[in-house]
Homo-oligomer: A and B are copies of this chain.
Protein backbone atom coordinates (compact mmCIF):
# COMPACT_ATOMS: atom_id res chain seq x y z
CA UNK A 1 0.00 0.00 0.00
CA UNK A 2 1.72 3.14 -1.19
CA UNK A 3 1.13 6.44 0.58
CA UNK A 4 2.04 9.77 -0.98
CA UNK A 5 2.47 13.21 0.55
CA UNK A 6 2.38 15.88 -2.14
CA UNK A 7 4.46 18.71 -0.74
CA UNK A 8 3.52 21.60 -3.00
CA UNK A 9 3.53 25.41 -2.71
CA UNK A 10 -0.02 26.78 -2.86
CA UNK A 11 -0.23 30.55 -3.39
CA UNK A 12 -2.57 32.57 -1.27
CA UNK A 13 -5.40 33.96 -3.36
CA UNK A 14 -4.51 32.01 -6.50
CA UNK A 15 -7.47 29.68 -6.34
CA UNK A 16 -7.41 28.72 -10.00
CA UNK A 17 -3.69 28.11 -10.02
CA UNK A 18 -3.87 26.09 -6.79
CA UNK A 19 -6.66 23.99 -8.29
CA UNK A 20 -4.40 23.03 -11.17
CA UNK A 21 -1.41 22.36 -8.90
CA UNK A 22 -3.52 20.13 -6.64
CA UNK A 23 -4.98 18.25 -9.60
CA UNK A 24 -1.54 17.62 -11.06
CA UNK A 25 -0.17 16.51 -7.70
CA UNK A 26 -2.98 14.01 -7.19
CA UNK A 27 -2.54 12.62 -10.69
CA UNK A 28 1.20 12.20 -10.27
CA UNK A 29 0.80 10.46 -6.94
CA UNK A 30 -1.93 8.09 -8.11
CA UNK A 31 -0.04 7.33 -11.30
CA UNK A 32 2.99 6.50 -9.13
CA UNK A 33 0.85 3.90 -7.39
CA UNK A 34 -0.30 5.75 -4.28
CA UNK A 35 -3.58 4.52 -2.78
CA UNK A 36 -3.55 7.25 -0.12
CA UNK A 37 -2.68 10.75 -1.27
CA UNK A 38 -2.21 13.58 1.24
CA UNK A 39 -2.15 17.29 0.40
CA UNK A 40 -1.16 20.28 2.57
CA UNK A 41 -3.47 22.30 4.80
CA UNK A 42 -5.42 25.02 2.96
CA UNK A 43 -4.08 23.74 -0.34
CA UNK A 44 -6.85 25.34 -2.39
CA UNK A 45 -6.71 28.83 -0.87
CA UNK A 46 -3.16 29.33 0.39
CA UNK A 47 -2.44 29.99 4.04
CA UNK A 48 -1.25 33.53 4.80
CA UNK A 49 -4.61 35.30 4.75
CA UNK A 50 -5.18 38.95 5.58
CA UNK A 51 -8.76 38.90 6.75
CA UNK A 52 -11.82 36.81 7.41
CA UNK A 53 -13.26 38.35 4.22
CA UNK A 54 -10.36 37.03 2.18
CA UNK A 55 -10.69 33.57 3.75
CA UNK A 56 -14.41 33.62 2.93
CA UNK A 57 -13.77 34.71 -0.64
CA UNK A 58 -11.32 31.85 -1.15
CA UNK A 59 -13.38 29.23 0.65
CA UNK A 60 -15.10 26.39 -1.19
CA UNK A 61 -18.44 24.76 -0.54
CA UNK A 62 -18.04 20.98 -0.16
CA UNK A 63 -20.01 20.63 -3.40
CA UNK A 64 -17.55 22.76 -5.36
CA UNK A 65 -16.53 21.17 -8.63
CA UNK A 66 -12.86 21.50 -7.68
CA UNK A 67 -13.42 18.30 -5.72
CA UNK A 68 -14.50 16.56 -8.92
CA UNK A 69 -10.84 16.88 -9.93
CA UNK A 70 -9.88 15.08 -6.74
CA UNK A 71 -12.38 12.29 -7.45
CA UNK A 72 -11.22 11.93 -11.02
CA UNK A 73 -7.62 11.75 -9.86
CA UNK A 74 -8.50 9.17 -7.22
CA UNK A 75 -10.34 7.08 -9.81
CA UNK A 76 -7.16 6.65 -11.84
CA UNK A 77 -5.98 4.14 -9.21
CA UNK A 78 -8.71 3.48 -6.64
CA UNK A 79 -7.07 5.97 -4.32
CA UNK A 80 -8.26 8.12 -1.44
CA UNK A 81 -7.25 11.78 -1.38
CA UNK A 82 -7.08 13.81 1.83
CA UNK A 83 -6.36 17.50 1.53
CA UNK A 84 -6.81 20.75 3.36
CA UNK A 85 -9.12 23.47 2.09
CA UNK A 86 -10.85 26.60 3.31
CA UNK A 87 -14.45 25.47 3.72
CA UNK A 88 -17.53 27.62 3.47
CA UNK A 89 -19.85 25.59 5.66
CA UNK A 90 -23.60 25.07 5.39
CA UNK A 91 -23.75 27.25 8.53
CA UNK A 92 -22.07 30.01 6.49
CA UNK A 93 -18.98 29.92 8.71
CA UNK A 94 -15.50 29.48 7.26
CA UNK A 95 -13.41 26.55 8.50
CA UNK A 96 -9.86 25.26 8.13
CA UNK A 97 -10.97 21.82 6.94
CA UNK A 98 -9.78 18.59 5.39
CA UNK A 99 -11.72 16.74 2.71
CA UNK A 100 -11.57 12.98 2.23
CA UNK A 101 -12.39 12.10 -1.35
CA UNK A 102 -12.37 8.92 -3.42
CA UNK A 103 -13.67 7.98 -6.85
CA UNK A 104 -17.24 7.99 -5.49
CA UNK A 105 -16.95 11.58 -4.29
CA UNK A 106 -16.71 13.27 -0.89
CA UNK A 107 -16.45 10.74 1.96
CA UNK A 108 -16.00 13.12 4.87
CA UNK A 109 -15.01 16.59 5.94
CA UNK A 110 -13.15 17.35 9.14
CA UNK A 111 -12.94 20.87 10.59
CA UNK A 112 -9.74 21.68 12.47
CA UNK A 113 -10.38 21.59 16.21
CA UNK A 114 -7.16 23.22 17.46
CA UNK A 115 -6.39 26.53 15.79
CA UNK A 116 -2.84 27.88 15.55
CA UNK A 117 -1.47 31.42 15.50
CA UNK A 118 -3.77 33.77 13.57
CA UNK A 119 -6.17 31.09 12.41
CA UNK A 120 -8.90 32.15 14.88
CA UNK A 121 -9.01 35.51 13.07
CA UNK A 122 -10.03 33.79 9.84
CA UNK A 123 -11.66 30.51 10.77
CA UNK A 124 -14.33 29.12 13.06
CA UNK A 125 -13.13 26.22 15.20
CA UNK A 126 -14.44 22.72 14.57
CA UNK A 127 -16.69 21.19 17.19
CA UNK A 128 -16.25 17.51 16.28
CA UNK A 129 -13.27 15.30 17.11
CA UNK A 130 -10.86 14.27 14.37
CA UNK A 131 -12.52 11.32 12.64
CA UNK A 132 -11.54 7.84 11.50
CA UNK A 133 -12.84 7.15 8.00
CA UNK A 134 -13.35 3.63 6.69
CA UNK A 135 -12.08 3.76 3.12
CA UNK A 136 -11.20 1.34 0.34
CA UNK A 137 -7.55 2.01 1.12
CA UNK A 138 -7.79 1.42 4.88
CA UNK A 139 -8.96 3.04 8.09
CA UNK A 140 -7.73 6.61 7.89
CA UNK A 141 -7.58 9.00 10.83
CA UNK A 142 -7.64 12.66 9.85
CA UNK A 143 -6.09 15.54 11.76
CA UNK A 144 -4.75 18.92 10.69
CA UNK A 145 -1.33 20.30 11.67
CA UNK A 146 -1.51 21.64 15.28
CA UNK A 147 -4.05 18.90 16.15
CA UNK A 148 -1.08 16.50 16.16
CA UNK A 149 0.44 18.36 19.09
CA UNK A 150 -2.37 17.14 21.34
CA UNK A 151 -1.52 13.57 22.30
CA UNK A 152 -5.20 12.97 23.05
CA UNK A 153 -5.92 13.38 19.32
CA UNK A 154 -3.48 10.76 18.07
CA UNK A 155 -4.34 8.42 20.94
CA UNK A 156 -8.06 8.70 20.26
CA UNK A 157 -7.62 8.19 16.52
CA UNK A 158 -5.49 5.08 17.07
CA UNK A 159 -7.89 3.71 19.70
CA UNK A 160 -10.75 4.27 17.27
CA UNK A 161 -8.97 1.98 14.82
CA UNK A 162 -7.00 4.29 12.55
CA UNK A 163 -4.27 2.36 10.76
CA UNK A 164 -2.79 5.56 9.42
CA UNK A 165 -3.23 9.13 10.59
CA UNK A 166 -2.92 11.67 7.81
CA UNK A 167 -2.37 15.34 8.52
CA UNK A 168 -2.51 18.18 6.02
CA UNK A 169 -0.13 20.71 7.54
CA UNK A 170 1.47 24.13 7.13
CA UNK A 171 4.65 24.54 9.20
CA UNK A 172 6.13 28.00 9.17
CA UNK A 173 9.83 28.43 9.92
CA UNK A 174 9.89 29.79 13.49
CA UNK A 175 12.76 31.62 15.17
CA UNK A 176 12.76 28.96 17.91
CA UNK A 177 13.56 26.40 15.24
CA UNK A 178 17.22 27.30 15.08
CA UNK A 179 18.19 24.91 17.85
CA UNK A 180 15.10 22.69 17.78
CA UNK A 181 14.06 22.42 14.14
CA UNK A 182 13.21 18.72 14.25
CA UNK A 183 10.84 18.86 17.22
CA UNK A 184 7.75 18.58 14.99
CA UNK A 185 9.18 15.41 13.47
CA UNK A 186 9.90 14.08 16.97
CA UNK A 187 6.29 14.71 17.99
CA UNK A 188 5.04 12.79 14.95
CA UNK A 189 7.48 9.90 15.47
CA UNK A 190 6.54 9.68 19.15
CA UNK A 191 2.82 9.64 18.39
CA UNK A 192 3.35 6.86 15.85
CA UNK A 193 5.49 4.85 18.25
CA UNK A 194 3.32 5.03 21.35
CA UNK A 195 0.19 4.23 19.33
CA UNK A 196 1.78 1.82 16.83
CA UNK A 197 0.16 3.59 13.90
CA UNK A 198 1.40 5.01 10.61
CA UNK A 199 1.39 8.80 10.28
CA UNK A 200 1.68 10.78 7.05
CA UNK A 201 2.13 14.53 7.43
CA UNK A 202 1.85 16.58 4.25
CA UNK A 203 3.48 19.95 4.75
CA UNK A 204 3.99 22.70 2.20
CA UNK A 205 6.93 24.66 0.83
CA UNK A 206 7.53 28.08 -0.68
CA UNK A 207 7.03 31.59 0.65
CA UNK A 208 3.79 33.54 1.07
CA UNK A 209 3.57 37.20 2.04
CA UNK A 210 6.85 36.98 3.93
CA UNK A 211 6.20 33.63 5.62
CA UNK A 212 8.75 30.94 4.84
CA UNK A 213 7.45 27.38 4.90
CA UNK A 214 9.54 24.61 6.33
CA UNK A 215 8.70 21.63 4.13
CA UNK A 216 8.53 19.08 6.94
CA UNK A 217 6.40 16.43 5.26
CA UNK A 218 7.13 13.03 6.71
CA UNK A 219 5.82 9.47 6.62
CA UNK A 220 6.56 7.31 9.67
CA UNK A 221 5.83 3.69 10.52
CA UNK A 222 4.33 2.22 13.73
CA UNK A 223 7.78 1.98 15.30
CA UNK A 224 8.12 5.73 14.83
CA UNK A 225 10.75 5.18 12.15
CA UNK A 226 10.92 7.75 9.35
CA UNK A 227 10.10 6.09 6.03
CA UNK A 228 10.31 9.23 3.91
CA UNK A 229 11.05 12.92 4.39
CA UNK A 230 11.35 15.60 5.47
CA UNK A 231 12.45 17.15 2.17
CA UNK A 232 12.82 20.72 3.44
CA UNK A 233 11.67 23.74 1.48
CA UNK A 234 11.18 22.33 -2.01
CA UNK A 235 8.32 20.76 -3.93
CA UNK A 236 8.48 17.00 -3.61
CA UNK A 237 6.27 13.95 -3.59
CA UNK A 238 7.04 11.59 -0.71
CA UNK A 239 6.13 8.00 -1.42
CA UNK A 240 6.35 5.15 1.08
CA UNK A 241 5.16 1.57 1.27
CA UNK A 242 2.96 1.24 4.33
CA UNK A 243 1.67 -2.21 5.23
CA UNK A 244 -1.33 -0.88 7.11
CA UNK A 245 -2.15 -4.24 8.71
CA UNK A 246 0.94 -3.75 10.89
CA UNK A 247 -0.91 -0.98 12.68
CA UNK A 248 -3.57 -3.41 13.88
CA UNK A 249 -1.03 -5.22 16.03
CA UNK A 250 -0.24 -3.18 19.13
CA UNK A 251 2.47 -5.51 20.46
CA UNK A 252 5.96 -4.00 20.57
CA UNK A 253 8.10 -6.26 18.32
CA UNK A 254 10.32 -8.57 20.33
CA UNK A 255 8.28 -8.17 23.51
CA UNK A 256 4.97 -9.25 25.00
CA UNK A 257 4.04 -5.63 25.68
CA UNK A 258 0.88 -4.35 24.05
CA UNK A 259 0.82 -0.57 24.00
CA UNK A 260 -2.96 -0.52 24.24
CA UNK A 261 -3.34 -3.56 26.52
CA UNK A 262 -0.78 -2.08 28.92
CA UNK A 263 -2.75 1.13 29.36
CA UNK A 264 -4.15 1.83 32.84
CA UNK A 265 -7.17 4.01 32.04
CA UNK A 266 -8.35 3.77 35.64
CA UNK A 267 -5.24 5.75 36.62
CA UNK A 268 -5.55 8.49 33.98
CA UNK A 269 -7.22 11.86 34.15
CA UNK A 270 -7.91 11.72 37.89
CA UNK A 271 -8.47 14.81 39.97
CA UNK A 272 -5.39 15.62 42.04
- Spell out A's residues near B (CB within 8 Å): 113-117, 127-129, 132, 146, 149-156, 160-161, 174-176, 179-180, 183, 185-187, 189-191, 193-194, 223-225, 253-257, 259, 262-265, 267-270, 272
Contact = CB atoms under 8 A, between A and B. Distances in A.
B270 A156 contact: yes
A189 B185 CA distance: 10
A257 B146 contact: yes
Nearest to A257: B116
A127 B150 CA distance: 26
Contact of A224 (B132, B183, B224): B183
A64 to B, nearest CB: 27
Tell me how many chains of this kind the complex includes.
2
Contacts of A254: 174-176
The A contact surface, by secondary structure, is loop
Contact of A150 (B117, B150, B176, B194): B194
A144 to B, nearest CB: 13
Contacts of A128: 267
Which of A117, A132, A186, A225 is the most central at the interface, judged by chain B CB atoms within 10 Å of its CB?
Answer: A186
Contacts of A263: 114, 150, 152
A149 to B, nearest CB: 5
Nearest to A268: B152
19 contacts: A113-B264, A114-B262, A114-B264, A117-B257, A127-B267, A129-B267, A129-B270, A132-B272, A150-B264, A151-B151, A151-B154, A151-B155, A151-B194, A152-B263, A183-B189, A183-B193, A183-B225, A186-B193, A187-B224
A263 to B, nearest CB: 6
Nearest to A131: B272
